Chain A
Amino acid sequence: MASMRDIKRRKDTIQSTGQITKAMKLVSTVKLQKAKGRAESTRPYSDLMYETVQSILAKSGHISHKYLSAAASQKKAVIVITSNRGLAGGYNTNITKLITDGGFDSDETVIYAVGKKGRELLERKGYEIKADYSEAVNEPIYTDAKEICEEVLSAFTQGEVGEIYLAYTAFKNTVVHEPKSVKLLPVSADEIQPVTDGSEALMTYEPSEEEALNMIIPKYLSSLIYGAMIESVASENGARMQAMDSATSNAEDMISSLSLKYNRARQAAITQELTEIISGANAIE
């Protein structure tokens, strides 16, 4: 049986770890609230942007356009949004699993990493990391999304990559986060549901549809990337909050079982001492 001192030391260690996880939980709760607010205020913009682009494509979806047709290259570009810090449960591994198990071969995929953890995990698996925007995850701003978008779009137009994907964690609510990969480019015309609102038929475009697409698609992608970053940050903090919550309650369980052991060991020591004293006294008589 472990000695009293060993048990005490163990208990103290767990107690201080528990304090850290508890503090981290509180911090990520606050961050989650903030990120959630941001995610909610971004949504109207991305939703409207999505609708607008869909209605343009519904009307002109079958015109040939450089962003609508697949490029010759077999390579796929994936923008992978993860976190810079760990201790968030399965948050980062879920995203990387999406890539490694999702039909993205390591020699036919280039990674645009947003988030250090994802970059490290994928680098180890042998994926080519084309660019790293990990700074952006700490506090995503729209300019970051625009920059990433310009980068991948130029790779696409130059034929370096044939398809662009975005892997991120969608934020459903505080406890449900869903790792997702969406195809950004080429926008496939078959998936578009024609909107039958009536007003679309009258819609005119200034400049022409094709030129408008040229200008709108980059904005559309930026807004998707921005929305994905914001949602991922919210999910990250949600995941960390859950992970830290269960770590804290595990620590509490361990502490209570160790307290029990410690008290037993103490009682055993006392009993033993008493027995020794009594038997010593008996020997003298």
Chain B
Amino acid sequence: MADKFMLIVNTPDREFYRGEVSMLELTTSEGDIGIYAGHIPLTAVLVPGVMTIHEDGAEKKAAVHGGIIEILQTKVNVLAEVAEWPDEIDVNRANEARIRAERRLKSGDAHVNMVRAELALKRSLARLNAVD
């Protein structure tokens, strides 16, 4: 696997990642995808999930919460609304958020905004999965 491509990950607050990578995995609204060099041009919408960046042998994980990915012929742009490295994630807080979101979803209360609770659950799961 000699082929590499340029990956640029931007968030509203900073440039999160820039470098040559051999493979990228992330979650889009249609499901998980893996990208190697030479992928067809594609624009997809991201949902909260784990992004795995494969550099030479090394593997980097990060939590990404929504955004878009644009795959061009020579490079890949990821525009994430929020992106975090595992060491930036507060595990206890994420765990608490997961429990709270699960309770809210189970309660079946009409006042609970289901879409919002589900998103909160997805975000906390993405954080927890990135840490493991």
Contact = CB atoms under 8 A, between A and B. Distances in A.
B41 A206 contact: no
Given A202-B41, A206-B44, A52 B79 contact: yes
A184 to B, nearest CB: 17
Contacts of B43: 52, 56, 203-206, 212
Interface stretch (A12-20, A43-51, A159-167): A43-51
Contacts of A48: 8, 10, 70, 77, 79
Contacts of B29: 206-207, 215
A219 interface: yes
B118 to A, nearest CB: 16
B48 to A, nearest CB: 13
B52 interface: no
A243 to B, nearest CB: 29
B129 to A, nearest CB: 22
A153 B30 CA distance: 24
Interface string B3-44: 000001011111100000000000011100000000011111
Sort chain B's interface into a size bin: 20 to 34
Contacts, number: 77
Nearest to A49: B79
B98 to A, nearest CB: 19
B82 interface: yes
A42 B12 contact: yes
Contacts of A45: 10-12, 79
A204 B40 contact: yes
Contacts of A44: 10, 15
A41 interface: yes
A38 B81 contact: no
Contact of A219 (B40, B42, B68): B68
A226 B79 CA distance: 14
Interface in A167-216: 199-200, 202-207, 212, 215-216
Given A44-B15, A49-B79, A219-B81, 10 more contacts: A41-B13, A42-B13, A44-B10, A48-B70, A205-B44, A206-B29, A206-B30, A215-B45, A223-B12, A227-B12
Interface of B: 8, 10-15, 28-30, 40-45, 66-68, 70, 72-73, 77, 79, 81-82
Interface of A: 38, 41-42, 44-46, 48-49, 52, 56, 142, 145-146, 199-200, 202-207, 212, 215-216, 219, 222-223, 226-227
